[in-house]
């Protein structure tokens, strides 16, 4: 069975998560490199998340929320 692309609303939410992540990172005064180092990820991964190329998994979202000092809900609403 061929892989189906996700529905449009999923892509919209993925972009919104990226925007929230970028804003929280900037509010925390961190670069992508600094945030990546803080959670054990490459800065390119942070960029991919912020630009909605990829989506962080739950473990990464928990680490991001902790590193940025924000509630998890703030990153995914």
Does pLDDT of 75 surpass 70?
yes
Q: Is the pLDDT assigned to residue 2 strictly greater than 80?
A: no
Q: pLDDT tens digit string along 40-58?
A: 999 999 999 999 999 999 9
Q: Under a CB-based contact definition with an 8 Å cutoff, are residues 12 and 49 in contact?
A: no
Q: Which of these, 50, 52, 55, 42, lies nearest to 23 by C-alpha position?
A: 50
Decide if pLDDT at 22 tops 80: yes
Q: What integer pLDDT is reported at residue 40 of this predicted model?
A: 98
At 33, list the tokens.
């490199």
Statement: 8-76 belongs to CATH 3.40.930.10: no
Alpha carbon distance 49, 38 (integer Å): 15
pTM above 0.85, yes or no: yes
* Contact (Cβ atoms closer than 8 angstroms) between residue 64 and residue 56: yes
- Residue ranges per structural domain of the chain: 8-76
């Amino acid at each position: 069975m061929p892989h189906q692309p996700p529905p449009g609303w999923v892509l919209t939410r993925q972009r919104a998560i990226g925007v929230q992540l970028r804003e929280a990172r900037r509010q925390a005064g961190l670069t992508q490199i600094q945030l990546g180092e803080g959670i054990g990820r490459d800065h390119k991964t942070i960029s991919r998340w912020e630009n909605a190329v990829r989506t962080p998994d739950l473990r990464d979202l928990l680490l991001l929320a902790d590193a940025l000092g924000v509630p998890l809900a703030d990153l995914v609403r």
